[in-house]
Structure 1
Protein backbone atom coordinates (compact mmCIF):
# COMPACT_ATOMS: atom_id res chain seq x y z
CA UNK A 1 0.00 0.00 0.00
CA UNK A 2 1.31 3.43 -0.97
CA UNK A 3 0.16 5.04 2.28
CA UNK A 4 2.12 2.43 4.25
CA UNK A 5 5.38 3.58 2.66
CA UNK A 6 4.58 7.20 3.58
CA UNK A 7 3.86 6.25 7.21
CA UNK A 8 7.07 4.18 7.33
CA UNK A 9 9.09 7.23 6.26
CA UNK A 10 7.34 9.39 8.89
CA UNK A 11 8.04 6.77 11.55
CA UNK A 12 11.72 6.54 10.58
CA UNK A 13 12.16 10.33 10.54
CA UNK A 14 10.58 10.65 13.99
CA UNK A 15 13.21 8.26 15.38
CA UNK A 16 16.02 10.25 13.77
CA UNK A 17 14.68 13.52 15.18
CA UNK A 18 14.44 12.07 18.70
CA UNK A 19 18.14 11.19 18.60
CA UNK A 20 19.20 14.54 17.09
CA UNK A 21 17.18 16.51 19.67
CA UNK A 22 18.70 14.51 22.55
CA UNK A 23 22.25 15.24 21.37
CA UNK A 24 21.53 18.96 20.98
CA UNK A 25 19.90 19.13 24.43
CA UNK A 26 22.94 17.47 26.02
CA UNK A 27 25.27 20.16 24.63
CA UNK A 28 23.09 22.88 26.20
CA UNK A 29 22.91 20.96 29.50
CA UNK A 30 26.70 21.00 29.86
CA UNK A 31 26.86 24.77 29.34
CA UNK A 32 23.98 25.33 31.78
CA UNK A 33 25.78 23.33 34.47
CA UNK A 34 28.94 25.40 34.04
CA UNK A 35 27.04 28.69 34.21
CA UNK A 36 25.37 27.53 37.44
CA UNK A 37 28.79 26.84 38.98
CA UNK A 38 30.01 30.32 38.03
CA UNK A 39 26.90 31.99 39.48
CA UNK A 40 27.31 29.94 42.66
CA UNK A 41 30.91 31.11 43.15
CA UNK A 42 29.74 34.72 42.86
CA UNK A 43 26.71 34.36 45.15
CA UNK A 44 28.63 32.67 47.97
CA UNK A 45 31.84 34.66 47.56
CA UNK A 46 32.47 36.49 50.88
CA UNK A 47 34.84 38.94 49.20
CA UNK A 48 32.07 40.39 47.02
CA UNK A 49 29.40 42.87 48.10
CA UNK A 50 26.23 41.67 46.42
CA UNK A 51 22.65 42.87 46.65
CA UNK A 52 20.78 39.68 47.57
CA UNK A 53 17.65 40.98 45.79
CA UNK A 54 19.40 40.01 42.56
CA UNK A 55 18.95 36.33 43.36
CA UNK A 56 16.02 36.58 45.81
CA UNK A 57 13.15 38.38 44.04
CA UNK A 58 10.10 39.82 45.79
CA UNK A 59 7.76 36.86 46.47
CA UNK A 60 4.75 39.19 46.15
CA UNK A 61 5.46 39.93 42.49
CA UNK A 62 3.66 38.18 39.65
CA UNK A 63 5.10 35.08 38.02
CA UNK A 64 6.31 34.79 34.43
CA UNK A 65 5.60 31.44 32.78
CA UNK A 66 7.02 30.19 29.50
CA UNK A 67 5.04 27.49 27.67
CA UNK A 68 6.50 25.33 24.90
CA UNK A 69 3.83 23.75 22.69
CA UNK A 70 3.97 22.11 19.25
CA UNK A 71 3.22 23.48 15.78
CA UNK A 72 2.60 20.23 13.90
CA UNK A 73 0.11 17.37 13.74
CA UNK A 74 -0.04 14.15 15.77
CA UNK A 75 0.34 16.11 19.02
CA UNK A 76 -3.19 17.06 20.07
CA UNK A 77 -2.80 15.70 23.61
CA UNK A 78 0.62 17.34 23.81
CA UNK A 79 -0.88 20.80 23.19
CA UNK A 80 -4.02 20.23 25.26
CA UNK A 81 -1.90 19.88 28.43
CA UNK A 82 -0.18 23.19 27.66
CA UNK A 83 -3.50 24.92 26.92
CA UNK A 84 -5.03 23.60 30.15
CA UNK A 85 -2.06 24.88 32.19
CA UNK A 86 -2.25 28.32 30.55
CA UNK A 87 -5.93 28.64 31.48
CA UNK A 88 -5.09 27.70 35.07
CA UNK A 89 -2.36 30.37 35.19
CA UNK A 90 -4.66 33.24 34.16
CA UNK A 91 -3.09 35.62 36.72
CA UNK A 92 0.51 34.97 35.58
CA UNK A 93 2.39 36.71 32.78
CA UNK A 94 3.09 34.47 29.81
CA UNK A 95 5.45 33.75 26.92
CA UNK A 96 3.75 31.23 24.61
CA UNK A 97 5.78 29.24 22.08
CA UNK A 98 3.53 27.40 19.61
CA UNK A 99 1.08 28.66 16.97
CA UNK A 100 -1.60 26.07 17.78
CA UNK A 101 -2.22 27.50 21.25
CA UNK A 102 -5.26 29.74 20.77
CA UNK A 103 -5.05 32.01 23.81
CA UNK A 104 -4.58 35.71 24.31
CA UNK A 105 -5.09 38.20 27.13
CA UNK A 106 -3.38 41.27 28.58
CA UNK A 107 -0.83 39.06 30.38
CA UNK A 108 0.56 37.42 27.21
CA UNK A 109 3.71 39.48 26.67
CA UNK A 110 5.13 37.41 23.81
CA UNK A 111 3.73 34.75 21.48
CA UNK A 112 5.79 33.05 18.75
CA UNK A 113 5.57 30.02 16.48
CA UNK A 114 7.60 26.99 17.55
CA UNK A 115 9.25 26.99 14.11
CA UNK A 116 10.43 30.56 14.74
CA UNK A 117 12.00 29.74 18.12
CA UNK A 118 15.61 30.14 16.95
CA UNK A 119 14.87 33.34 15.00
CA UNK A 120 13.01 34.88 17.95
CA UNK A 121 15.58 34.00 20.64
CA UNK A 122 16.88 37.58 20.81
CA UNK A 123 13.36 38.85 21.48
CA UNK A 124 12.88 36.27 24.25
CA UNK A 125 16.31 37.06 25.71
CA UNK A 126 15.53 40.80 25.80
CA UNK A 127 12.29 40.10 27.69
CA UNK A 128 14.08 37.83 30.19
CA UNK A 129 17.00 40.23 30.69
CA UNK A 130 14.67 43.16 31.42
CA UNK A 131 12.69 41.00 33.84
CA UNK A 132 15.85 39.98 35.74
CA UNK A 133 17.32 43.50 35.92
CA UNK A 134 14.04 45.05 37.04
CA UNK A 135 13.16 42.23 39.47
CA UNK A 136 9.79 42.12 37.73
CA UNK A 137 8.71 38.63 38.72
CA UNK A 138 8.81 36.41 41.79
CA UNK A 139 9.45 33.37 39.60
CA UNK A 140 10.20 32.46 36.01
CA UNK A 141 8.81 29.00 35.22
CA UNK A 142 8.86 26.81 32.15
CA UNK A 143 6.16 24.30 31.19
CA UNK A 144 6.95 21.72 28.53
CA UNK A 145 6.74 18.03 27.67
CA UNK A 146 9.87 16.29 28.90
CA UNK A 147 11.42 13.37 27.03
CA UNK A 148 12.16 10.40 29.32
CA UNK A 149 12.83 7.53 26.94
CA UNK A 150 12.03 6.28 23.46
CA UNK A 151 8.62 5.20 24.75
CA UNK A 152 7.63 7.83 27.32
CA UNK A 153 7.46 11.55 28.14
CA UNK A 154 5.85 13.68 30.87
CA UNK A 155 4.39 17.16 31.22
CA UNK A 156 6.83 19.06 33.41
CA UNK A 157 7.31 22.37 35.23
CA UNK A 158 10.83 23.73 35.63
CA UNK A 159 11.61 26.78 37.77
CA UNK A 160 14.28 28.77 35.91
CA UNK A 161 14.47 31.62 38.43
CA UNK A 162 15.26 31.92 41.28
CA UNK A 163 18.00 29.34 40.90
CA UNK A 164 18.24 26.53 43.42
CA UNK A 165 21.91 25.93 44.29
CA UNK A 166 22.49 22.32 45.31
CA UNK A 167 25.52 21.00 47.17
CA UNK A 168 28.16 22.74 49.27
CA UNK A 169 30.43 25.65 48.45
CA UNK A 170 34.17 25.62 49.14
CA UNK A 171 35.22 29.02 50.58
CA UNK A 172 38.73 28.45 49.19
CA UNK A 173 37.20 29.41 45.84
CA UNK A 174 36.56 33.00 47.01
CA UNK A 175 38.13 35.65 44.77
CA UNK A 176 38.28 39.41 44.21
CA UNK A 177 37.21 41.04 40.94
CA UNK A 178 37.21 44.68 39.79
CA UNK A 179 33.95 45.02 37.88
CA UNK A 180 30.27 45.74 38.41
CA UNK A 181 29.52 42.34 39.90
CA UNK A 182 25.76 42.96 40.06
CA UNK A 183 25.55 43.74 36.35
CA UNK A 184 27.72 40.72 35.62
CA UNK A 185 25.42 38.51 37.68
CA UNK A 186 22.35 39.84 35.86
CA UNK A 187 23.94 38.86 32.56
CA UNK A 188 24.89 35.41 33.84
CA UNK A 189 21.36 34.78 35.12
CA UNK A 190 19.89 35.71 31.74
CA UNK A 191 22.52 33.58 30.02
CA UNK A 192 21.65 30.63 32.26
CA UNK A 193 17.88 30.95 31.74
CA UNK A 194 18.30 31.15 27.96
CA UNK A 195 20.48 28.03 27.88
CA UNK A 196 17.98 26.13 30.03
CA UNK A 197 15.22 27.28 27.68
CA UNK A 198 17.17 26.10 24.61
CA UNK A 199 17.85 22.75 26.26
CA UNK A 200 14.19 22.22 27.17
CA UNK A 201 13.04 23.21 23.68
CA UNK A 202 15.27 20.41 22.33
CA UNK A 203 13.94 17.94 24.92
CA UNK A 204 10.42 19.02 24.02
CA UNK A 205 11.15 18.28 20.34
CA UNK A 206 12.33 14.81 21.34
CA UNK A 207 9.06 14.28 23.24
CA UNK A 208 7.06 15.44 20.20
CA UNK A 209 8.77 12.87 18.05
CA UNK A 210 8.15 10.13 20.63
CA UNK A 211 4.45 10.89 20.13
CA UNK A 212 4.82 10.84 16.34
CA UNK A 213 6.72 7.57 16.54
CA UNK A 214 4.04 5.98 18.72
CA UNK A 215 1.19 7.17 16.50
CA UNK A 216 2.87 6.18 13.23
CA UNK A 217 3.81 2.82 14.78
CA UNK A 218 0.17 2.27 15.72
CA UNK A 219 -0.84 3.32 12.19
CA UNK A 220 1.59 0.80 10.69
CA UNK A 221 0.21 -1.94 12.95
CA UNK A 222 -3.31 -1.03 11.85
CA UNK A 223 -2.28 -1.07 8.19
CA UNK A 224 -0.67 -4.49 8.70
CA UNK A 225 -3.88 -5.68 10.34
CA UNK A 226 -5.96 -4.42 7.40
CA UNK A 227 -3.56 -6.02 4.91
CA UNK A 228 -3.83 -9.36 6.72
CA UNK A 229 -7.63 -9.10 6.73
CA UNK A 230 -7.63 -8.26 3.03
CA UNK A 231 -5.24 -11.13 2.26
CA UNK A 232 -7.42 -13.55 4.25
CA UNK A 233 -10.53 -12.27 2.47
CA UNK A 234 -8.80 -12.68 -0.88
CA UNK A 235 -7.75 -16.25 -0.04
CA UNK A 236 -11.28 -16.99 1.16
CA UNK A 237 -12.79 -15.65 -2.08
CA UNK A 238 -10.31 -17.64 -4.18
CA UNK A 239 -11.10 -20.77 -2.21
CA UNK A 240 -14.85 -20.21 -2.59
CA UNK A 241 -14.44 -19.68 -6.34
CA UNK A 242 -12.31 -22.82 -6.59
CA UNK A 243 -14.87 -24.87 -4.66
CA UNK A 244 -17.68 -23.43 -6.77
CA UNK A 245 -15.83 -24.20 -9.97
CA UNK A 246 -15.05 -27.74 -8.77
CA UNK A 247 -18.71 -28.32 -7.91
CA UNK A 248 -19.82 -26.97 -11.29
CA UNK A 249 -17.31 -29.19 -13.10
CA UNK A 250 -18.47 -32.19 -11.08
CA UNK A 251 -22.09 -31.43 -11.98
CA UNK A 252 -21.18 -31.15 -15.66
CA UNK A 253 -19.38 -34.49 -15.57
CA UNK A 254 -22.27 -36.12 -13.71
CA UNK A 255 -24.80 -34.72 -16.20
CA UNK A 256 -22.71 -35.90 -19.15
CA UNK A 257 -22.36 -39.39 -17.67
CA UNK A 258 -26.12 -39.59 -17.13
CA UNK A 259 -26.74 -38.56 -20.73
CA UNK A 260 -24.23 -41.10 -22.03
CA UNK A 261 -25.67 -43.78 -19.77
Structure 2
Protein backbone atom coordinates (compact mmCIF):
# COMPACT_ATOMS: atom_id res chain seq x y z
CA UNK A 1 0.00 0.00 0.00
CA UNK A 2 2.84 2.40 0.85
CA UNK A 3 4.41 1.72 -2.54
CA UNK A 4 1.22 2.77 -4.32
CA UNK A 5 1.10 5.92 -2.23
CA UNK A 6 4.69 6.76 -3.21
CA UNK A 7 3.88 6.35 -6.90
CA UNK A 8 0.78 8.52 -6.52
CA UNK A 9 2.88 11.22 -4.82
CA UNK A 10 5.38 11.11 -7.69
CA UNK A 11 2.59 11.49 -10.24
CA UNK A 12 1.22 14.53 -8.40
CA UNK A 13 4.72 16.01 -8.16
CA UNK A 14 5.38 15.62 -11.90
CA UNK A 15 1.97 17.15 -12.69
CA UNK A 16 2.87 20.23 -10.65
CA UNK A 17 6.21 20.45 -12.43
CA UNK A 18 4.48 20.25 -15.82
CA UNK A 19 2.17 23.11 -14.83
CA UNK A 20 5.25 25.22 -14.03
CA UNK A 21 7.04 24.38 -17.30
CA UNK A 22 3.90 25.12 -19.33
CA UNK A 23 3.53 28.49 -17.58
CA UNK A 24 7.21 29.32 -18.23
CA UNK A 25 6.77 28.33 -21.88
CA UNK A 26 3.83 30.74 -22.27
CA UNK A 27 5.75 33.60 -20.61
CA UNK A 28 8.81 32.97 -22.79
CA UNK A 29 6.65 32.83 -25.92
CA UNK A 30 5.20 36.27 -25.13
CA UNK A 31 8.66 37.76 -24.45
CA UNK A 32 10.10 36.12 -27.57
CA UNK A 33 7.44 37.73 -29.72
CA UNK A 34 8.19 41.17 -28.27
CA UNK A 35 12.00 40.94 -28.46
CA UNK A 36 12.10 39.30 -31.91
CA UNK A 37 9.84 41.98 -33.40
CA UNK A 38 12.07 44.74 -32.00
CA UNK A 39 15.24 42.95 -33.13
CA UNK A 40 14.04 42.61 -36.73
CA UNK A 41 13.05 46.28 -36.80
CA UNK A 42 16.45 47.38 -35.50
CA UNK A 43 18.21 45.41 -38.26
CA UNK A 44 16.72 47.77 -40.84
CA UNK A 45 17.99 50.81 -38.91
CA UNK A 46 21.53 49.40 -38.81
CA UNK A 47 21.42 48.63 -42.53
CA UNK A 48 20.37 52.20 -43.33
CA UNK A 49 23.05 53.71 -41.07
CA UNK A 50 25.70 51.47 -42.64
CA UNK A 51 24.56 52.55 -46.10
CA UNK A 52 24.69 56.24 -45.14
CA UNK A 53 28.18 55.92 -43.67
CA UNK A 54 29.46 54.26 -46.86
CA UNK A 55 27.66 56.87 -49.00
CA UNK A 56 29.29 59.78 -47.15
CA UNK A 57 32.72 58.12 -47.20
CA UNK A 58 32.49 57.49 -50.95
CA UNK A 59 31.30 61.04 -51.57
CA UNK A 60 34.26 62.41 -49.60
CA UNK A 61 36.69 60.14 -51.53
CA UNK A 62 37.98 58.82 -48.21
CA UNK A 63 39.19 62.30 -47.17
CA UNK A 64 37.91 62.62 -43.62
CA UNK A 65 39.26 62.68 -40.08
CA UNK A 66 36.98 60.79 -37.67
CA UNK A 67 38.76 59.30 -34.62
CA UNK A 68 36.16 56.53 -34.23
CA UNK A 69 37.08 55.23 -37.69
CA UNK A 70 40.85 55.45 -37.30
CA UNK A 71 42.86 52.33 -36.36
CA UNK A 72 44.72 52.31 -33.04
CA UNK A 73 48.12 50.76 -32.52
CA UNK A 74 47.69 48.70 -29.34
CA UNK A 75 48.20 45.17 -28.09
CA UNK A 76 44.84 44.95 -26.27
CA UNK A 77 41.23 44.35 -27.30
CA UNK A 78 38.03 45.01 -25.37
CA UNK A 79 35.52 42.15 -25.63
CA UNK A 80 31.85 42.67 -24.77
CA UNK A 81 30.10 39.36 -23.98
CA UNK A 82 26.30 39.13 -23.78
CA UNK A 83 24.85 36.08 -21.98
CA UNK A 84 21.76 35.51 -19.84
CA UNK A 85 20.90 36.05 -16.19
CA UNK A 86 19.03 32.77 -15.75
CA UNK A 87 19.27 29.17 -16.86
CA UNK A 88 16.62 26.72 -18.10
CA UNK A 89 17.25 27.82 -21.70
CA UNK A 90 19.00 24.84 -23.27
CA UNK A 91 22.44 25.54 -24.71
CA UNK A 92 21.95 29.31 -25.01
CA UNK A 93 24.41 30.32 -22.29
CA UNK A 94 26.92 27.49 -22.71
CA UNK A 95 27.20 28.09 -26.48
CA UNK A 96 27.98 31.81 -26.27
CA UNK A 97 30.37 31.33 -23.33
CA UNK A 98 32.31 28.58 -25.14
CA UNK A 99 32.36 30.73 -28.27
CA UNK A 100 33.67 33.71 -26.28
CA UNK A 101 36.34 31.64 -24.55
CA UNK A 102 37.52 30.27 -27.89
CA UNK A 103 37.53 33.73 -29.48
CA UNK A 104 39.68 35.13 -26.66
CA UNK A 105 42.15 32.23 -26.91
CA UNK A 106 42.53 32.66 -30.67
CA UNK A 107 42.99 36.44 -30.45
CA UNK A 108 46.50 37.72 -31.14
CA UNK A 109 46.07 40.54 -28.62
CA UNK A 110 45.46 40.49 -24.89
CA UNK A 111 41.83 40.91 -23.94
CA UNK A 112 39.85 42.85 -21.37
CA UNK A 113 36.21 42.01 -20.75
CA UNK A 114 32.93 43.82 -20.28
CA UNK A 115 30.29 41.29 -19.26
CA UNK A 116 26.50 41.33 -19.47
CA UNK A 117 24.45 38.70 -17.61
CA UNK A 118 25.01 36.70 -14.43
CA UNK A 119 26.05 33.61 -16.39
CA UNK A 120 28.88 35.47 -18.14
CA UNK A 121 30.03 37.05 -14.87
CA UNK A 122 30.06 33.65 -13.14
CA UNK A 123 31.89 31.99 -16.06
CA UNK A 124 34.70 34.57 -16.34
CA UNK A 125 35.12 35.50 -12.66
CA UNK A 126 38.25 33.32 -12.37
CA UNK A 127 39.56 34.28 -15.81
CA UNK A 128 43.04 35.73 -16.19
CA UNK A 129 41.62 38.42 -18.48
CA UNK A 130 40.71 41.61 -16.56
CA UNK A 131 37.02 42.46 -16.20
CA UNK A 132 36.51 46.23 -16.50
CA UNK A 133 32.71 46.18 -16.16
CA UNK A 134 29.82 43.83 -15.44
CA UNK A 135 26.06 44.27 -15.71
CA UNK A 136 23.24 42.09 -14.36
CA UNK A 137 19.51 42.00 -15.19
CA UNK A 138 20.05 44.19 -18.25
CA UNK A 139 16.94 42.74 -19.94
CA UNK A 140 14.71 44.26 -17.27
CA UNK A 141 16.13 47.76 -17.78
CA UNK A 142 16.95 47.63 -21.50
CA UNK A 143 16.32 50.98 -23.16
CA UNK A 144 18.02 53.46 -25.48
CA UNK A 145 19.00 55.59 -22.46
CA UNK A 146 20.84 52.65 -20.87
CA UNK A 147 22.52 51.89 -24.21
CA UNK A 148 23.64 55.55 -24.49
CA UNK A 149 25.52 55.19 -21.21
CA UNK A 150 27.34 52.05 -22.38
CA UNK A 151 28.12 53.59 -25.79
CA UNK A 152 29.57 56.72 -24.16
CA UNK A 153 31.81 54.54 -22.00
CA UNK A 154 32.97 52.52 -25.03
CA UNK A 155 33.64 55.68 -27.06
CA UNK A 156 35.77 57.14 -24.26
CA UNK A 157 37.69 53.87 -23.90
CA UNK A 158 38.45 53.69 -27.63
CA UNK A 159 39.43 57.36 -27.88
CA UNK A 160 41.88 56.78 -25.02
CA UNK A 161 43.76 54.61 -27.57
CA UNK A 162 44.05 51.78 -25.06
CA UNK A 163 42.42 49.18 -27.33
CA UNK A 164 43.11 48.20 -30.92
CA UNK A 165 39.48 47.22 -31.37
CA UNK A 166 36.27 46.74 -29.42
CA UNK A 167 34.24 43.63 -30.28
CA UNK A 168 30.85 42.38 -29.14
CA UNK A 169 29.95 38.66 -28.92
CA UNK A 170 26.32 37.57 -28.74
CA UNK A 171 23.62 35.16 -29.91
CA UNK A 172 21.64 36.28 -32.96
CA UNK A 173 18.23 34.67 -33.21
CA UNK A 174 17.38 33.05 -36.54
CA UNK A 175 14.21 31.24 -35.58
CA UNK A 176 12.63 30.33 -32.25
CA UNK A 177 14.88 27.27 -31.97
CA UNK A 178 18.02 28.22 -33.96
CA UNK A 179 20.58 30.95 -33.36
CA UNK A 180 23.87 32.20 -34.81
CA UNK A 181 26.94 33.04 -32.75
CA UNK A 182 28.08 36.52 -33.79
CA UNK A 183 31.31 38.48 -33.29
CA UNK A 184 30.88 42.08 -34.44
CA UNK A 185 33.50 44.82 -34.39
CA UNK A 186 32.21 48.07 -32.93
CA UNK A 187 35.44 50.11 -33.07
CA UNK A 188 37.12 51.16 -35.24
CA UNK A 189 34.06 51.57 -37.43
CA UNK A 190 34.76 50.16 -40.85
CA UNK A 191 33.35 51.33 -44.15
CA UNK A 192 33.16 49.13 -47.22
CA UNK A 193 35.04 50.56 -50.21
CA UNK A 194 33.28 48.04 -52.46
CA UNK A 195 29.80 48.80 -51.18
CA UNK A 196 27.17 49.34 -53.86
CA UNK A 197 26.58 53.04 -53.23
CA UNK A 198 25.02 55.57 -55.58
CA UNK A 199 28.29 57.38 -56.34
CA UNK A 200 26.68 59.57 -59.01
CA UNK A 201 24.18 61.03 -56.56
CA UNK A 202 24.89 64.64 -55.63
CA UNK A 203 24.95 64.82 -51.81
CA UNK A 204 25.07 68.01 -49.81
CA UNK A 205 26.84 67.36 -46.49
CA UNK A 206 26.49 69.98 -43.76
CA UNK A 207 28.03 71.26 -41.58
CA UNK A 208 31.05 69.09 -42.55
CA UNK A 209 31.95 65.54 -43.54
CA UNK A 210 33.75 64.91 -40.25
CA UNK A 211 30.86 66.07 -38.07
CA UNK A 212 28.25 64.15 -40.08
CA UNK A 213 30.35 61.00 -40.04
CA UNK A 214 31.02 61.33 -36.30
CA UNK A 215 27.25 61.53 -35.59
CA UNK A 216 26.52 58.64 -37.97
CA UNK A 217 29.20 56.52 -36.31
CA UNK A 218 27.83 57.10 -32.82
CA UNK A 219 24.31 56.26 -33.99
CA UNK A 220 25.60 53.15 -35.76
CA UNK A 221 27.35 51.89 -32.62
CA UNK A 222 24.35 52.72 -30.41
CA UNK A 223 21.87 50.82 -32.56
CA UNK A 224 24.32 47.97 -33.20
CA UNK A 225 24.68 47.51 -29.45
CA UNK A 226 20.92 47.87 -28.92
CA UNK A 227 20.29 45.31 -31.66
CA UNK A 228 22.78 42.89 -30.08
CA UNK A 229 20.89 43.02 -26.77
CA UNK A 230 17.55 42.53 -28.52
CA UNK A 231 18.90 39.64 -30.60
CA UNK A 232 20.37 37.98 -27.50
CA UNK A 233 17.16 38.46 -25.51
CA UNK A 234 15.05 37.01 -28.34
CA UNK A 235 17.43 34.05 -28.71
CA UNK A 236 17.32 33.39 -24.95
CA UNK A 237 13.52 33.45 -24.79
CA UNK A 238 13.28 31.24 -27.87
CA UNK A 239 15.70 28.73 -26.32
CA UNK A 240 13.81 28.78 -23.01
CA UNK A 241 10.50 28.33 -24.82
CA UNK A 242 11.86 25.28 -26.66
CA UNK A 243 13.42 23.87 -23.47
CA UNK A 244 10.18 24.26 -21.50
CA UNK A 245 8.20 22.67 -24.33
CA UNK A 246 10.53 19.67 -24.26
CA UNK A 247 10.34 19.53 -20.46
CA UNK A 248 6.53 19.61 -20.56
CA UNK A 249 6.49 16.81 -23.14
CA UNK A 250 8.88 14.71 -21.03
CA UNK A 251 6.77 15.34 -17.95
CA UNK A 252 3.69 14.13 -19.82
CA UNK A 253 5.50 10.95 -20.87
CA UNK A 254 6.64 10.38 -17.28
CA UNK A 255 3.08 10.85 -15.98
CA UNK A 256 1.79 8.28 -18.48
CA UNK A 257 4.52 5.81 -17.50
CA UNK A 258 3.97 6.27 -13.76
CA UNK A 259 0.18 5.98 -14.20
CA UNK A 260 0.65 2.69 -16.05
CA UNK A 261 2.90 1.37 -13.26
CA UNK A 262 0.42 2.56 -10.63
CA UNK A 263 -2.50 0.83 -12.38
CA UNK A 264 -0.57 -2.42 -12.80
CA UNK A 265 0.47 -2.55 -9.14
CA UNK A 266 -3.01 -1.58 -8.00
CA UNK A 267 -4.50 -4.35 -10.16
CA UNK A 268 -2.00 -6.83 -8.79
CA UNK A 269 -2.88 -5.78 -5.24
CA UNK A 270 -6.62 -6.18 -5.94
CA UNK A 271 -6.01 -9.62 -7.48
CA UNK A 272 -4.00 -10.68 -4.43
CA UNK A 273 -6.70 -9.46 -2.06
CA UNK A 274 -9.42 -11.30 -4.04
CA UNK A 275 -7.36 -14.50 -4.00
CA UNK A 276 -6.97 -14.22 -0.21
CA UNK A 277 -10.71 -13.67 0.22
CA UNK A 278 -11.57 -16.67 -1.98
CA UNK A 279 -9.02 -18.85 -0.17
CA UNK A 280 -10.43 -17.81 3.20
CA UNK A 281 -13.99 -18.53 2.10
CA UNK A 282 -13.03 -21.97 0.85
CA UNK A 283 -11.28 -22.71 4.15
CA UNK A 284 -14.41 -21.81 6.10
CA UNK A 285 -16.61 -23.99 3.88
CA UNK A 286 -14.32 -26.99 4.21
TM-score over 0.5 (shorter chain): yes
Range with bigger deviation, 22-31 or 132-141: 132-141
CA distance in 2, matches of 1:45, 1:65: 32
Asked whether 1:192 is paired with 2:220, we answer: yes
Q: Which residue of 1 aligns with 2:35?
A: 21
Determine helix, strand or coil for the equivalent of 2:207: coil
**Unpaired stretches in structure 2, ≥5 consecutive residues:** 1-14
User: Between Structure 1 and Structure 2, how many residues are aligned?
Assistant: 258
Higher Rg: 1
5 Å-filtered alignment, 1:150-165, equals: 150-161=176-187, 162-165=189-192
Mapped to 2, the partners of 1:174 and 1:140 lie a distance apart of 34
CA deviations 1:107-126 (Å, max 9, x no partner) are 43332224244363232121
Whether 2:138 is the aligned partner of 1:124: answer no
Q: Secondary structure at the match of 2:174?
A: strand
Q: CA RMSD in A?
A: 3.0
Whole-Å separation in 2 of the counterparts to 1:8 and 1:54: 47
Query: CA separation of 1:47/1:145 partners in 2, compared to 1, >3 Å: closer, same or farther?
Result: closer
The CA deviation at 1:91 is 1.5
| Distance in 1, Cα, partners of 2:135 & 2:16 | 36
Query: Which stretch shows the higher mean deviation, 236-245 or 193-202?
Result: 236-245
**Of 250, 255, 265, which aligns to 1:222?**
250
Q: 1:239 Cα deviation (Å)?
A: 1.2
Decide which of 23, 34, 49 is 2:48's aligned counterpart: 34
The two structures have a TM-score, normalised by structure 1, of 0.83
Change in 2 beyond 3 A, CA 1:38/1:136: farther
1:5 CA displacement: 1.1
TM-score for the superposition, normalised by structure 2: 0.77
Question: Is contact 2:67-2:159 (8 Å) kept?
Answer: no
Query: Does the alignment pair 1:98 with 2:117?
Result: yes
Unaligned runs of 5+ in 1: none
Correspondence for 1:110 among 133, 139, 143: 133
Whether the aligned pair in 2 keeps the contact of 1:132 and 1:189 (CA below 8 Å) is no
Shift of 1:236: 0.9
